[in-house]
């Protein structure tokens, strides 16, 4: 599929969503958000996707929300009355949900960043499981520069990825964090020479993940997300229920046989959620 904001293709269990309006720095506009949400949840519905790779085109990954959106005479930004503020809250919840779809997807999501990852783009990137970038990449909480706090998830997720002090520095100053510092603080897993190399590395990771049992990968993501958001005791209690739900000796037999013979295992796709 393709639209004004991104293309999406699936091959051998690996989905590739690529932002595709480089002439506008891949900026986001209101229609982008439900398109992204529906694309990610559509992949989950079919059950065929084992990994999603998100990348971009052009010099910059994404410059965040297009600034002309904020200058528009749009009811979604009106907060002058109690009714308007309630409507604003509902709109914001819906926008947040569009990035939460990435975080909540039952498959891992790998993000390959080149150039600027600015504002809302960082909200998107921090909702992914793994981030890699090119040597020219930089990351910034841009919203603080235009008189607002970031509100689509980065403030909630960033401090679970990088040290809290680093998250606060980024949130309060909006300073650019370059690729090497991003690697040093754990915001990205790898820095590659250029955009093509970053995407190639992301695809290598995706292939390695897609070769594993989709049951085990999904269970691992569910457990990791729960542990991130809850205490150890609650997470261990969740683990007993989760493991009992997905423990499958037939799946394990396929994985063990392939591991012993260094063959490529063949696992059934996850069931559709329709």
- Domain layout of the chain by residue ranges: 6-210, 214-261
pLDDT band at 224 (very low <50, low <70, confident <90, very high): very high
For 178-224, the DSSP string reads EHHHHHHTTS-SEEESSHHHHHHHHHHHHHHHHTS-HHHHHHHHHHH
pLDDT tens digit sequence for 91-114? 999 999 999 999 999 999 999 999
Contact 169, 139 (CB under 8 A): no
Q: In what order do the strands lie in the sheet with 51-55?
A: 6-11, 14-19, 51-55, 109-113, 130-134, 190-192
* Size of the chain, expressed as the number of residues it contains: 274
β-pairing verdict for 14-19 and 6-11: antiparallel
Q: How far apart are CA 253 and CA 256, in angstroms?
A: 5
Of 54, 53, 34, residue with least CA distance to 42? 34
- Annotate 54-63 with b (16+ C-beta within 10 A) or e (fewer): bbbbbebbbb
pLDDT tens digit sequence for 165-188? 999 999 999 999 999 999 999 999
The CATH architecture of the domain made up of 6-210 is Alpha-Beta Complex (3.90)
């Amino acid at each position: 599929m393709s639209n004004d904001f991104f293309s999406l293709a699936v091959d051998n269990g690996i989905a590739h969503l690529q932002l595709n309006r480089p002439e506008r720095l891949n900026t986001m506009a209101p229609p982008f958000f439900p398109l992204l949400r529906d694309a990610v949840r559509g992949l989950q519905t079919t059950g065929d996707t084992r990994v999603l790779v998100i990348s971009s085109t052009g010099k910059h990954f994404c410059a965040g929300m297009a600034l002309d959106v904020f200058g528009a005479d749009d009811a979604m930004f009106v907060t002058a009355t109690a009714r308007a503020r309630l409507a604003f809250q509902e709109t914001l919840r819906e926008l947040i949900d569009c990035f939460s779809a990435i975080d909540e997807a039952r498959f891992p999501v790998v993000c390959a960043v080149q150039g600027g990852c600015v504002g809302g783009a960082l909200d998107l990137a921090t909702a992914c499981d793994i981030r890699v970038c090119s040597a020219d990449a930089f990351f910034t909480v841009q919203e603080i520069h235009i008189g607002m706090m970031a509100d689509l998830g980065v403030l909630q997720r960033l401090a679970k990825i990088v040290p809290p002090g680093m998250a606060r520095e980024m949130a309060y100053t909006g300073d650019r964090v370059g690729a090497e510092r991003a690697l040093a603080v754990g915001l990205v897993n790898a820095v590659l020479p250029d955009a093509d190399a970053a995407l190639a590395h992301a695809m290598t990771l995706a292939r390695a993940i897609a070769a594993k049992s989709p049951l085990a990968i999904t269970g691992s993501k569910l457990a990791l997300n729960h542990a991130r958001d809850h205490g150890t005791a609650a997470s261990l209690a969740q683990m007993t229920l989760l493991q009992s739900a997905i423990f499958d000796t037939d799946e394990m037999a396929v994985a063990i046989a392939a591991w012993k013979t260094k063959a490529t295992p063949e696992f059934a796709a996850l069931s559709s959620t329709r």
